[in-house]
Amino acid sequence: VLAYLNGQYQPRSGATISVEDRGFVFGDGVYEVWRIVNGTLFETERHLARLASGLNELRIPAPDIVHPDVLNSVAKRLVAESGLLDGEATLYLEVTRGVAPRTHQFPSKPTNPTVYATVNRFSPPEELRAKGAACITIPDLRWLRCDIKTIQLLPNVLAKQAAVERGALDAIMIRDGVATEGSHANVFAVIDGVLRTHPTNHLILAGITRAVVLELAANAGIRAVEEPVTEAELASADELFLAGTTTDVMPIVRLNDAVIASGQPGPITTRLVREFRVCLDVACGVVSTTT
């Protein structure tokens, strides 16, 4: 598998960064993950816009790769030379403030941001999706700028690890009695026929998959509101699902070992799983809109 690091292409196994990289020392950076189908990135621009906004929040100058043409050409070469032109893959892109002696404040001399990108094979979790996944709930221990997609992911790492240790797919984080999001995906509930998900503010990441799902719901005539779901409502919801680039749309049928509704993926979730697949395939040129 190939990696792109500061303008150079090289085998990922040999790619190295400085121990003084502020990403390594402080988690001073941001990242993005794209879904790729047959070599084409899904939602290039929306992910780039979120990356640009994160860089702006952290006052890291935007490198060239934040331009769609540059990103697409880097992605093409990574995908082609990693043998991932066919089928599904993901692109990981990370930008840090760069290399400088360790001081908490920004380096006094401007640094070049470190830019790292790589690709991985992705297999949509079809089997699990057919029966639905289990989740646990866990306190949301994160800071108050969860809208910035920083590489500081320790609370997310610990939440996911707790889920795995309990045989669950993911952990839904609870802050002040409401579900914010999963460790790396947004959370949706269906309650009395209405799709509900946490509003986009500083408490969650504004997921691209979340945005696409809301658009698909609107097109399908499914009513949706961006309002918090309480912990109690989560447990008694008619349907629950996660949505994220590497999670896809994933029905949740068990929460903290209790069954959600019938214990089967519900009709609205199943419909959105289908709609999302079509949307992905059309956007990535796998099928045309007329077929």
Residue 114 vs 245, nearer CB to ligand PDD: 245
Q: Please state at what angle helix 208-219 crosses helix 267-283, rounded to 10 degrees.
A: 110
* Residue 110 CB neighbour total at 10 angstroms: 11
Q: Interacting stretch for ligand PDD, rule CB under 6 A, among 62-70, 191-199, 216-224, 238-246?
A: 238-246
Q: Is 103 exposed, middle or buried (0-12, 13-18, 19+ CB in 10 A)?
A: exposed
What type of residue sits at position 227?
E
Tokens of 119: 């690709």
Q: Interacting stretch for ligand PDD, rule CB under 6 A, among 60-68, 103-111, 160-168, 201-209?
A: 201-209
254 binds ligand PDD (CB under 6 A): no
33 binds ligand PDD (CB under 6 A): yes
DSSP class of 136: E
Q: Interacting stretch for ligand PDD, rule CB under 6 A, among 18-26, 124-132, 203-211, 264-272?
A: 203-211
Residue 99 vs 149, nearer CB to ligand PDD: 149
Inter-residue contact 215 to 227 (CB < 8 Å): no
Binding mask 140-169 for ligand PDD (x = CB under 6 A): ----------------x-------------
Residue 99 CB, shortest distance to ligand PDD, in Å, is: 24
DSSP letters spanning 192-230: TTEEEE--SSTTS---HHHHHHHHHHHHTT--EE---EE
Question: Which residues in the 94-133 window bind ligand PDD by CB under 6 A?
Answer: none
Residues of this chain that interact with ligand PDD (CB under 6 A) are: 33, 156, 181, 184-186, 205, 207-210, 244-246
Would you please indicate which residues are annotated as catalytic (active-site) residues?
149
